[in-house]
Amino acid sequence: MKLTFLVVAATTLSFSPAVAVAAPHPAPQHRASLRLSDGAGDTWTYSDTTVGYTPAPQPAADVLSARIHHGRYAVTTRMLFANLTRESTQWYRCEIHVAGLTHWYIVEAAEGHWRGIAYEEVQGEWVRAPGVTHKIDYAAETFTLRVPRRLLGDPAWVRVRLHNDLGIGDGTFFTDNPMSAGHKPLYTPRIPAR
């Protein structure tokens, strides 16, 4: 796994022979993004009848890379897969940790709702997540989730953990994440707002 942390800042200056003066533009907006690279074929399998995880390739669950962006208005995550399909139930999971609190979001895609339904896990129950938007693009092999910052309490920073699970119908599941080489995803370092 490779982490790349980018902080982008924009400032416009105009220069005169004697002094540098800030141009009459709004204050610069800082945006923080984190890019994650994940090896191909590093998925794990587990089942209702076995204990533990075993490495097993499954392209439909294989995350190749991810991007997390903590912008002015929202936290946006995007995962790129090896081969997304509409064959089995898939759960895309995003945990966003802010100071003193973690928000758990799950998007479930299955027969009859391949575009996915967004939920937030609250006290162990899945409830619809109004305001949270997502897109599963099977042609581009991507899953994108956007969580407005206001739903998170407008945090100064976030830590994020991403992973997905694919159930193939017989009690067997496959999982992958762009956060670690193992089956258990790790949280990112703090990603500052803007």
Closest alpha carbon to 89 in 107, 66, 77, 65 = 107
CA distances from 109 to 55, 113, 135 (A): 24, 6, 11
Residues 75 and 96 sit within 8 Å (Cβ to Cβ): yes
Amino acid in the structure at residue 172? T
For residue 28, what pLDDT is reported? 41
Closest alpha carbon to 45 in 183, 189, 184 = 183
User: Residue 16 is part of which domain span?
Assistant: 2-192
Q: Taking 90 as the threshold, does the pLDDT of residue 175 lie above it? A: yes
The 10s digit of each residue's pLDDT in 90-100 is 999 999 999 99
Q: Per the structure block, which two tokens stand in for 163?
A: 């992973």
The 10s digit of each residue's pLDDT in 34-73 is 999 999 999 999 999 989 999 999 999 999 999 999 999 9
Helix (H, G, I), strand (E, B) or coil at 149: helix
DSSP label at 190?
P
Higher pLDDT pick, 3 / 117: 117
Residue listed under structure tokens 């803007």: 194
For residue 32, what pLDDT is reported? 87
Q: Taking 70 as the threshold, does the pLDDT of residue 20 lie above it? A: no
For residue 2, what pLDDT is reported? 45
Q: Taking 50 as the threshold, does the pLDDT of residue 30 lie above it? A: no
For residue 21, what pLDDT is reported? 37
Backbone torsion region of residue 178, taken as left when φ is above 0, otherwise alpha when ψ lies between -120 and 50, otherwise beta? alpha
Q: Per the structure block, which two tokens stand in for 192?
A: 């500052």
Per-residue pLDDT band at 169 (split at 50, 70, 90): confident
